[in-house]
Structure 1
Amino acid sequence: MTTATDAVQADRELKARHRAMWALGDYPALADEIIAELGPTLVRACGIGPGDRVLDVAAGSGNAAIPAALGGAQVVASDLTPELLETGRRVAAAQGAQLQWREADAEELPFADGAFDVVMSCVGVMFAPHHQAAADELVRVCRPGGTVGLLSWTPEGFIGRMFATMKPYAPASPPGAQPPPLWGSEEHVRALLGDRVSGVEVCRQRLRVDHFATPEEFRDYFKARYGPTISTYRAIADDPERVAALDHDLAELARREPVTEWEYLLVTARRA
């Protein structure tokens, strides 16, 4: 029989694994080299301007937080992984951006109700394992009339298919954990936010990616830099046949679905 204490301990262990996973490889390099334009895209969609109080949830190294700060907003960048925040501090300093960096769990944000004018997340909160808990926190810390903005990879897009490709090789998700690309489903996000928001605007867009000359180059780049991919390979490291099979499947994904258009869902809404 699972007790409440067991559940709390299991959740702590899960969060510790997530924290460690995102410290693997070099996600800040990937964010800068491949998806840099997504942060400014979300900032524009949220209509962030000078003086706005902004919280970037699961901010990583500041792909969206830093552009918001450079535009004059008062920004707090929060993330579960301190290594990403430390890189963000260095990047922000180099660019002359002033903002706060806070280690925080997206499912238990250490901020007051209604503390921010804009609460946003750029391919970040989608990786919190308990989607409703994370969505509840996004809404809670946004002031009435404020903006919630989300940019997430879709299940049908290239990154969503990459996660589907890795799933048979990855350890089973613990009970209650939900797959990240669900945040790229309009129906799922609307259900998470519910009637606590109004004026919901949703669109699917694509990120043009010209970084990889071959399918193998894409695979090896993610094997070296992307925490979820590195973690999946580590789980099968003692089985050379499965490693070879995953190598093949990721390259075939890129061969079958050219690594040039990565679809994402962009959602903005007003806190009711």
Structure 2
Amino acid sequence: MDIAEQLSIEEQGLKQQLHDTWCAGNYSSVARTLEPSALQFLARHPVRAGAMVLDVACGSGQVALPAARAGAKVWGIDIAGNLIEEARGHAEQEGLAARFEVGDAESLPYGDNSFDQIYSVIGAMFAPRPERVVAELTRVCRPGGEIVMANWTPEGFVGHFFKTVARHVPPPPMPSPLMWGTESRVRERFAERPVDLHFDRQLFEFRYPYTPEEVVGFYRQNFGPVVRAFAALDAAGQAALHADLVQLWRDYNLADDGTTHTQGEVLEIVAVPQ
């Protein structure tokens, strides 16, 4: 039985909503701005040469492709087919040992104990059923392997970004993805799994060569959740959301030269199955 048959009508509708959200705009252009931080993440949690590596909710490959360049055998999976096609194109151009496919973090199409290392950087945290994500990540990771995640925290800039959007457009009916950035909640989610857990907090950098107002325009055009939020509002609602987002970027801007620089806090999680 495939996942579509297992889900209720309501759950299928939610899955479709999430799919449409992450296919909207051009997320890879947003992800590229975070590539330096993604590479720093990989430096903190290095890929083992020759390892079997899975990148869950891989987007267009900002983690999977560097992992393949480091000598790993890489699989990447994401619900957004447009991003998977882009990742495949990059892998083919470079001749990398990386395979990308459309799929669901809650129903991974791989056998038990298939991977030495599993990564999910600002990805699987957006799946609607976290208990299924935990079950699948621990199922496909070999004992003694690593499950490594980086998730936005509720307290950081990105947490406030999503809360700002949610004040104007109700979020989908699912647990807040930001709970993946809370250590106590992550411990609860892995509590019934035989894993050793380790946590660290790091900062991802957002740097744009334009003003906060121009940054909001960039996100309005390219970042799926913002694209969809603006599309759901009338003209007055769009103006109000725009003003609040501009103010948020101004409040967190560390630059004073007409550009925009802020930092988003992530909770980095390392789970080692026993």
Q: What is the TM-score with the length of structure 2 in the denominator?
A: 0.90
Kindly indicate whether residue 243 of structure 2 is the aligned counterpart of residue 243 of structure 1: no
1:8 and 2:3 are equivalent in the alignment: no
1:221 and 2:222 correspond? no
Aligned to 1:267: 269
- Whether the 8 Å CA contact 2:153–2:180 is kept in 1: the answer is yes
Distance 1:88 1:144, change over 3 A: same
Report the Cα distance in structure 2 between the residues aligned to 1:182 and 1:17, rounded to whole angstroms: 20
How far the C-alpha of 1:196 sits from its partner, in A, is: 2.3
Distance in 2 (alpha carbons) for counterparts of 1:200 and 1:26: 34
User: Using the alignment, how far apart are the partners of 1:47 and 1:30 within structure 2?
Assistant: 24
Q: CA offset at residue 172 of structure 1?
A: 4.6
d(CA) in 2 for partners of 1:167, 1:235: 12
How do residues 1-80 of structure 1 correspond to structure 2 at under 5 angstroms?
Answer: 8-32=8-32, 34-80=33-79
**Separation in structure 2 between the aligned mates of residue 139 and residue 199 of structure 1, nearest angstrom:** 12
2:252 is the counterpart of 1:253: no
- TM-aligned CA distance change 1:102 to 1:7, over 3 Å: closer
- 5 Å-filtered alignment, 1:187-226, equals 187-226=184-223
Q: Deviations over 1:214-264 (max 9, x none)?
A: 22012111101100111111111xx21111100110011111222411111
Distance 1:242 1:85 in 2: 33
Per-residue deviation at 1:41?
3.2
**Correspondences of 1:93-172 after superposition (within 5 Å):** 93-172=92-171
Backbone CA RMSD of aligned residues: 1.8
2:149 is paired with a residue of what secondary structure?
A: strand
SS at structure 1 position matched to 2:198? strand
CA distance in 1, matches of 2:221, 2:228: 11
> 2: CA distance between counterparts of 1:120 and 1:217?
32
How far residue 131 of structure 1 moved from its aligned partner, in angstroms, is 1.3
**In 2, are the aligned partners of 1:171 and 1:235 still within 8 Å (CA)?**
no
Please, which runs of 5 or more residues in structure 1 have no aligned partner? Answer: none
**In 1, Cα distance between the equivalents of 2:29 and 2:166?**
24
Q: Using the TM superposition, name which of 92-101 and 261-270 deviates more.
A: 92-101
1:105 alignment partner, SS class: coil
Percent same amino acid among aligned pairs?
Answer: 34
The count of corresponding residues between Structure 1 and Structure 2 is 263
Match among 175, 181, 184 for residue 184 of structure 1: 181
2:87 is equivalent to residue 85 of structure 1: no
Q: 1:123 to 1:156 in 2, by over 3 A?
A: same
SS at match of 1:209: strand
Structure 2 spans left out of the alignment, 5+ residues = 254-260
- What code does the residue aligned with 1:192 have? R
Matches of 2:41 and 2:102 in 1, distance apart? Answer: 22
Q: Deviations over 1:183-223 (max 9, x none)?
A: 11111222212252544221111123221532201211110
Alpha-carbon displacement from aligned partner over 1:139-168 (angstroms, at most 9, x marks no partner): 111111110000111111111110000002
SS in 2 for 1:132: helix
TM-score (norm 1): 0.91
Tell me the amino acid that sits aligned with residue 116 of structure 1.
F
Measured in 1, the distance between the counterparts of 2:44 and 2:183 equals: 16
- Cα 1:129/1:73, change in 2 over 3 Å: same
